[in-house]
Each structure stands twice: as structure tokens, then as C-alpha cells.
């Protein structure tokens, strides 16, 4: 049967251009897995990545018409629900006979909402490889598909029906390698699925908990290395992003896994640059493993630090102390590997004193700045995704402004005023978020530009924190958002203008080096080619 899988466009073009650290060049691996699984049992599958291919609805229409498609599968996140709704509506109108399936994080975690908003015949919950194969088999043979595990649909009375949960795939080695679109110079590999963490804000934690079966599953080192070899041979790849939720190295079992993986990389003489995501606690006492990894290509570690305030960490159920967080940062920044940390400033219940504590500690962390470790500031707000504990908290406290929105009011009115002022401040500094990928850039630019960039980031970080602390004290004294912003701007406007000037000069000199720019160039060449 002919099937078309779609990764929708983002909410708007501005989001695409200001994704900050996110290069716009990843092929959607979740859909890549579904495509390979369906092809393995003989189906013809076309994958449309609207973002990567810069395709609009007409592009979808053309692909569906040319390929005689009977089933469309669309992936849906909470952050791009609006385009998902609009694309499904368009497909329904243009091709009423096509069976539409929606899967991914939003249908899994907000099934009722997804079913009522997205015009699809069936929603796949949890991991989709097996469910989609069974669904397509049933449709192909005119069998009843309503009893398949891991799905939901609206019945004739528009009531939501949810079938038995689908078990998580126990042995990931049995899956065929995911299809990947040719993309610039970066590939995503998923060596494991699931995480032992219980973070209250985390959709991934919530997603895997909706399913039955073992949550954390790691592919064998042999299987991961075989995929890497395939990627390196078939695609012109410079970076490989390991998107495990947590690349674990701390337990005895993890270290045995790593030793095998390490020896295979050496045996196969693989030379690539690898980035991993890790919980900070994994790093502590793991220097020797990480150093070994650096020898075979580890180039960047991403740590979810979240906050330097213990109350915030505790509210998130991060199971981490501030001391551990700082130790993890120190450990990595002393190594020959780049460090990226993820932070949250605002959450539904944060107080001004906690915010001040967090900002002051952040400022002290700046002392660790070096070419491996810089922090890009700007606005970090905890999002209350459906299915998470933070969402439950927000609902419980009646903090929602609009139903089905991920945004909320803050419990504390001074934080609300501070936030309102920061939204305006962000308008002033958001131009800087276009600096896509320092870690990539610095390896490609001259020593003098590198130094100027480092100074620029340092000044930007300090300015943002000084402005934040100043705003916090005003909010603590009961000032309103617009006053907080105006006074902060009066005080820091000159420093901001100085940075804008620096930015303008660096921007011109750096055009050739940014991944952001090169991926834009690549997209243009693809369009030209088409």
C-alpha cells in the first residue's frame, strides 16, 4: 500500500528562523523509524518533512496525488499543534477518501484534546512501529482496526475510545534502521529510549509512562555502531547527535556497555563528532569514561541543569542538588569537550527570592566560562505540557488563561509582573538568539574572531543577568511590569546598544561560519534543485 508520512511545518516562519541553538537540518527520526518498519513489510512510503524541504500544502497535495496514497500519517507535538490541525484539515478536504493517522507526543499525552482538534481517523499512542504496521495491514485487507492495541479514535457519537495500551518495544535491536533524509551535516541516532528520571515537567518521562513494558531500553553497542557505520558511509555527516534522553555512564552495566561501544569504534576506525544528552548526576565520578569517549569522538555534552535554586529543583522532582549540578558543570568544563546546559527561570510557583538566588548563582557559574562553556541567556520558561506533573499543578491551582494552551499565569503576582517585563526585554535581545551554534562556529573561524565572540557572549550573559537581577528587585518592591521594563531599559540601554553594535559587526564577518546560515543556504540550494 502507498503511505505518506508528514512532519508538519512549525507554528510560524519566525519560529523557524529564531530556533536559537537548534540547527534546522535534522531529518525526523521518529517518522524515519515508521517508514523503515512499513517498508520492511512491503509498503511504499514517502516521507515529507515540510520544515526540512520547505514544502507548503501544495507540495503535500502534489506528493499525495503523484503517489496514489491511501494512508497519511502525521507526527504531532504540542508545540506545533496548530499547523498539524491545519494540514489534516487540508488533506481531509482535498482527499476525503484518505485514511489519516496522527501519532507522537501530543496524541499520546493529550489524547482527548488531539482527537477533538485534529481531523484524523485514528490516533496512535506511544511507540508507533508495530501499531502502524497492524493498522495498515487491517486497512489494506478491510479488517476491523478498532481493536488494535495502542490507538484511540472518536466513535460515531464523537466519544473518545481508547484501546488497550501498546507495550513498549522490548528489543530495539530488532527494528530496522530508520530512514533519514539527506540533510546538511548532522545525523540523529537514538541509542536508547526512555529515562529513569521522574522530572515533573518532562514530556518524555510522561510519554513512556503511558505505555506498558520496560521503560529504559538500550540497543546493543554492536547495533548502534553498525548504524553509525551506515550513516558515515552513506551520508556526508560531520556531527552525530545521540538523542537518548539520558546517555547513562554511571552504573556497572552502563560502563560495560560503554567499554564494548568504545572498543568497537576503535576497531572500526570510526572518526566522527558525537554529542550526547546526560543527567548531571551521570557525570559525577565518570571522568575516566567521558575522557575515553572524548578520545573516540565525543565533542559535546548537554546537561539538564534547570536551576541553581534547590526549591525549584525539588519542585521539578529532578532528584539533584545544586552542589551536584555545579560539580557536573565543573567536571565537564575542565575537559576537552564542549558543554551546553539547559536552564529554567520561570515556573508556575517560583518566588522572587528563588529567582534572585538562581540568578546570583548563575552569575557565579560565569567564572567557569571558557571556550568550551558559554551560556546563551534570554527567556527560559517552564512549559506545562499535557500529561506532566507541572500541567497538573497548573490546572490544580487554576493558573490557566486559555484552555488547551501551554501558557499559564504565575502563582505569585510579583513574578507575573517580572515576567511581563521580561517579555518586553526579550524583544530587545531576541536578535541575539540567531547565533545558532557556537560550538560549530568556533572550530571554523579564526582565533581573533573566536576571542571576540567569546567576549561578546560573556558581555551578553552578564548584561542579561544584571538586568534580570535589577528587574527582580523592582518586582520585589511591587513595581508593575511596564515600569520594571522601562527602568531596566533606562539603566541598561547603553550596554545593550553597545552589544547590538558588536553583533552587527560580528554578524557580517561570521556569515560563512554559522550552521544556521549554512543550513539556510542548503535549503535554498534544495529549492533551486527542485
Binding footprint of ligand SAM on the chain (CB under 6 A): 195, 197, 201-202, 245-246, 277-280, 302-304, 306, 342, 344, 382-383, 385
Count of residues near ligand B12 by CB under 6 A = 35
Nearest to 303 by CA among 341, 248, 358: 341
Nearer to ligand SF4, 245 or 338 (CB): 245
Bridge partner list, 44: 2
User: What would you measure as the largest C-alpha separation in the chain, in angstroms?
Assistant: 70
Does position 203 bind ligand B12 by CB under 6 A?
yes
Strands 217-218 vs 192-193: parallel, antiparallel or unpaired: antiparallel
Q: Per-residue string for binding with ligand SF4, 260-299, x by CB under 6 A?
A: -------------------x--------------------
Q: Is residue 19 a contact point for ligand B12 (CB under 6 A)?
A: yes
In the complex, minimum distance from the CB of residue 91 to ligand B12, in angstroms, rounded to a whole number: 13
CA distances from 167 to 129, 150, 197, 213 (A): 11, 8, 20, 5
Distances (CA, A) of 27 to 49, 138, 168, 454, 524: 7, 29, 23, 31, 17
Question: What is the grid cell recorded at 258?
Answer: 560503554
200: contact with ligand SF4 by CB under 6 A: no
**CA nearest 89: which of 68, 60, 126, 112?**
60
CB closer to ligand SAM, 95 vs 105 = 105
DSSP notation for 326-371: HHHHHHHHTSSSEEEEEE--B-TT--HHHHHHHHHHHHHHGGG-BT
Cα separation, 468 vs 423, in Å, equals 12
Site string for ligand SF4, 145-184 (x = CB under 6 A): ----------------------------------------
Is 241 a residue that touches ligand SF4 (CB under 6 A)?
A: no
Closest listed residue to residue 488, CA positions, set 499, 508, 473: 473
Give yes or no for residue 113 binding ligand B12 (CB under 6 A): no
Contacts of 308 (CB under 8 A, 6+ apart): 322, 325, 326, 357, 358, 361, 362, 365
Q: Considering the rule CB under 6 A, would residue 239 count as an interface residue with ligand B12?
A: no
Out of ligand B12, ligand SAM, ligand SF4, none, what residue 73 binds, judged by CB under 5 to 8 A for its kind, is ligand B12
Q: Which of residues 72-101 bind ligand B12 (CB under 6 A)?
A: 73-75, 77-79, 101
202 binds ligand SF4 (CB under 6 A): yes
C-beta of 294: minimal distance to ligand B12 in Å? 22
Interface positions with ligand B12 (CB under 6 A): 10, 15, 19, 22, 26, 28-30, 33-34, 73-75, 77-79, 101, 103-106, 109, 124, 127-129, 132, 188, 190, 202-204, 243, 245, 385
The residues binding ligand SF4 (CB under 6 A) are 195, 197, 199, 202, 204-205, 245-246, 279, 304
Amino acid at each position: 500500500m502507498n503511505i505518506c508520512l508528514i512532519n508538519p511545518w512549525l507554528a510560524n516562519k519566525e519560529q523557524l528562523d529564531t530556533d536559537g541553538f537548534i540547527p534546522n537540518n535534522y531529518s525526523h527520526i521518529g517518522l524515519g523509524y515508521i517508514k523503515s518498519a512499513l517498508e520492511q513489510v512491503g509498503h511504499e512510503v514517502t516521507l515529507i518533512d515540510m520544515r526540512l524541504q520547505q514544502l507548503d500544502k501544495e507540495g503535500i497535495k502534489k506528493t499525495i496525488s503523484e503517489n496514489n496514497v491511501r494512508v497519511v500519517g502525521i507526527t504531532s507535538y504540542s508545540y506545533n499543534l496548530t499547523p498539524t490541525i491545519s494540514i489534516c484539515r487540508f488533506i481531509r478536504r482535498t482527499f476525503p477518501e484518505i485514511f489519516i493517522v496522527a501519532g507522537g507526543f501530543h496524541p499520546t499525552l493529550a489524547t482527548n484534546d488531539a482527537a477533538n482538534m485534529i481531523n484524523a481517523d485514528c490516533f496512535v499512542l506511544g511507540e508507533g512501529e508495530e501499531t502502524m504496521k497492524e493498522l495498515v495491514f487491517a486497512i489494506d485487507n478491510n479488517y476491523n482496526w478498532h481493536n488494535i492495541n495502542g490507538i484511540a479514535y472518536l466513535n460515531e457519537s464523537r466519544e473518545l475510545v481508547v484501546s488497550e495500551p501498546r507495550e513498549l518495544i522490548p528489543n530495539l535491536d530488532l527494528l530496522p534502521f530508520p530512514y533519514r533524509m539527506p540533510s546538511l551535516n548532522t545525523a540523529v541516532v537514538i541509542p536508547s529510549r526512555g529515562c529513569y528520571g521522574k522530572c515533573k515537567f518532562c514530556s518524555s518521562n510522561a510519554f513512556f509512562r503511558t505505555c506498558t513494558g520496560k521503560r529504559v531500553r538500550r540497543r546493543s553497542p554492536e547495533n548502534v555502531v553498525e548504524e553509525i557505520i551506515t550513516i558515515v558511509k552513506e551520508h556526508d555527516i560531520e556531527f552525530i547527535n545521540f538523542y537518548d534522553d539520558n546517555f547513562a555512564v554511571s552504573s556497572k552495566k552502563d560502563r560495560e556497555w560503554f567499554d564494548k561501544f568504545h572498543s568497537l569504534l576503535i576497531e572500526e576506525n570510526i572518526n566522527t563528532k558525537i554529542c550526547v544528552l546526560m543527567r548531571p548526576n551521570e557525570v559525577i565520578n565518570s571522568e575516566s569514561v567521558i575522557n575515553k569517549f572524548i578520545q573516540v569522538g565525543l565533542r559535546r555534552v548537554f546537561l539538564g541543569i534547570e536551576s541553581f535554586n534547590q526549591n525549584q529543583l525539588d519542585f521539578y522532582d529532578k532528584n539533584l542538588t545544586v552542589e551536584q549540578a555545579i560539580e557536573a558543570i565543573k567536571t565537564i568544563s575542565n575537559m576537552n569537550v564542549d558543554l551546553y546546559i539547559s536552564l529554567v527561570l520561570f515556573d508556575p510557583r517560583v518566588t522572587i527570592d528563588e529567582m534572585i538566588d538562581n540568578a546570583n548563582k548563575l552569575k557565579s557559574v560565569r567564572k567557569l566560562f571558557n571556550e568550551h562553556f558559554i551560556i546563551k541567556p534570554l527567556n527560559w520558561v517552564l512549559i506545562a505540557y499535557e500529561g506532566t506533573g507541572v500541567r497538573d499543578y497548573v490546572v490544580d491551582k487554576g493558573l490557566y488563561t486559555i484552555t488547551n494552551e501551554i501558557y499559564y499565569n504565575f502563582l505569585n503576582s510579583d513574578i507575573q509582573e517580572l515576567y511581563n517585563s521580561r517579555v518586553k526585554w526579550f524583544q530587545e535581545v531576541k536578535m541575539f538568539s540567531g547565533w545558532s551554534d557556537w560550538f560549530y562556529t568556533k572550530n571554523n573561524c579564526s582565533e581573533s574572531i573566536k576571542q571576540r565572540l567569546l567576549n561578546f557572549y560573556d558581555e551578553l550573559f552578564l548584561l542579561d543577568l544584571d538586568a534580570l537581577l535589577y528587574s527582580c528587585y523592582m518586582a520585589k518592591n511591587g513595581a508593575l511590569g511596564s515600569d520594571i521594563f522601562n527602568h531596566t531599559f533606562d539603566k541598561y540601554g547603553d550596554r545593550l546598544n553597545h552589544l547590538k553594535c558588536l553583533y552587527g559587526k560580528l554578524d557580517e564577518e561570521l556569515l560563512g561560519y554559522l550552521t544556521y546560515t549554512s543550513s539556510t543556504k542548503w535549503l535554498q540550494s534544495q529549492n533551486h534543485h527542485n
